[in-house]
Amino acid sequence: MSFIAELRRRKVVRVAAGYVVVGWLLTEVLTTVLPTVGAPDWVPRAVVLVFALGFVPAVVLSWFFQLTPEGIKRDTAAAAATGVPHRLTDYLTVGSVIALVVLAGYFTARQEGGNGQGAAPVAATASVAVLPFDNLSADPDNEYFSDGLAETLLHMLAQVPDLRVAAKTSSFAFKDQNRTIGEIAAALGVAHVLEGSVQRVDDEVRVNAQLIRASDGFHVWSSVYERTLDDIFDVQDEIARKVGFALTESLLGPASADLSVVQTESPDAYDLYLQAREQLTTYSYGGLTAAEDLLKGALLIDPGFLEAKTELASTYIRQVETGLLTPAEAFAEVRAITQQVLDARPGDAVAQALNTFADTMVRLTRGEAVNLNDLAAALEARVAEAPDALEPRILLVRAYTATGQEDEAVAVLEHALHDDPFNPRILYEIGTAYFDLDRLDAAEAALEQSLDIEAAQPNAHVHLALIAARTGDGVDFVRHVLDAMEVDPRDQELPGMLAEFLYGLELVAEGDDFRNRVVTIAPTSEVAYRTELLRAIAAGD
């Protein structure tokens, strides 16, 4: 009997074909179902490998055994024809089974041990990153709206119990980058990615959202919404709930039924609020002034818009740090605004942190005795209450710096960066903290990385200029200040820095160009008066 005929008689070909078909169907079903029920990421891969490794033993077993009406029996005709003793066939059979079990066990142990040394971290199944939604509107200025929608969804999903959501700034760092879903998910350590697009025409909005499993690109859920702007809050609620259920229904209990984040019923106020948050990203004179105007506009429409009040208070503190407002007037406003928020929502940790900080600063400006260590302790408590909020951490850093605890300030920022690794503001803050500690190389690296993510940061350019000045590189100093001026042309301190530098070199004519700019922007400012004095010294007057 020929070998081919013998294969047919023993039904080896039929078994091989059946194994491939059944194995393919089972692996397709299991690799789709297992992740949705919370199985670890290695389980679907183990299933595929077990079926692949089982092919050879299945074929070998079909050579020696036959399926009969009385059950599975050894093919005695096969043993007689080949001259292979029954004991040897037993050895081959048992050996095949043992090999399959050993290989499967080895793969499983390797996967389970992969979380140890040298292994890449496995993203939790209940984890998601919300990418900025694409703006498909004809007007590119509507991008703030698409970004704001994605950001609001992110904050809503962050309220789902046991669901880990990548921080907004790190997720948004991949905007306009040609990176695959798998690469983004690996960088952020998440198992799923929510992406989408927004098309807005007047008051009509079309939102397309899809939840993608990063391991295989499978669309877990997708939907399209065509609504009016008045319904945008309902759209946000619906997307957040459906994504939460799609990740795992067990995560959404009765307590998470209300996923609302922004407490306003006015689409116009919400629209201004989103525009203001867009303006705040650069920390520039122009951006901070525009944000203040937009937030005040939102509050005119909806005086009870608590998030707009908290954002306005934070804006005033940033204006103090950039010289737009004096501490006395700014901190009094911050204290009053945050008290309104706390009257309506006493447990708001961010408003509590802002209020405590502002109250301490008001008393300082009055000349009262203040214990800054008490301020640091109060802010530590607020950070513990709201570990995901950045503003209390930044205020704590300010308190640590004021009390000479620079190392503690750096530790707070490094912990924040671990949670949000692509946040340009955290990287900027770390750069300035390293600068204060005279760790210039580390400061420069952090500031450069911050600018790589958000280029329109004048203060990051200024600190790079200060690093250049401290290392004696005048050319780099001038270059970075000019870069800052290009980003923020309304800041009179920037041309003042160049005028002072050039007057120090007795380059009076060159310094006058920048002095004139200072006088044009802010003729009665402290910078203008100081620049006039420096010019007189340089000119020998």
Encode pLDDT of 66-78 as tens digits.
655 555 555 555 4
Can you read off the two tokens belonging to residue 285? 């004179």
Structure confidence at residue 183 (pLDDT): 87
Helices of type H across 303-371: 306-321, 327-344, 349-365
Q: What residue type is 75 in one-letter code?
A: D
CA distances from 346 to 12, 335, 342, 383, 392 (A): 74, 14, 4, 16, 16
- Give the E-state strand segments of 331-402 in sequence order: none
Dist CA 393 CA 315 (whole Å): 16
CB 156 within 8 A of CB 240: yes
The distance between the two most distant Cα atoms of the chain, rounded to a whole number of Å, is 119
Q: Is the pLDDT of residue 434 over 60?
A: yes
Q: Which of 64, 86, 88 lies closest to 9 in space, CA to CA?
A: 64
Q: What single-letter DSSP state applies at residue 165?
A: E
Comparing 160 with 25, the larger pLDDT belongs to: 160
Q: Which residue has the higher pLDDT, 369 or 445?
A: 445
* Position 32 confidence tier, pLDDT thresholds 50, 70, 90: low
Task: Say how far apart CA 52 and CA 104 lie, in whole Å.
Answer: 10
At 20 the pLDDT is 63
Taking the C-alpha atoms of residue 337 and residue 354, their distance in angstroms, rounded to an integer, is 10
pTM of the entire predicted model: 0.65
Cα–Cα distance for residue pair 268/229, rounded to 1 Å: 9
Residue with tokens 């290989």: 103
pLDDT tens digits for range 349-394: 999 999 999 999 999 989 998 899 999 999 999 999 988 889 999 9
Q: At what angle do helices 424-436 and 458-470 cross, to 10 degrees?
A: 20
Cα–Cα distance, 9 to 533 (Å, whole number): 106
Mean pLDDT of the chain, nearest integer: 79
Above 90 in pLDDT, residue 420? no
146 Cβ neighbours under 8 A, 6+ residues apart: 132, 133, 134, 135, 137, 197, 198, 200
CA-to-CA distance for 114 and 108, rounded, in angstroms?
A: 10
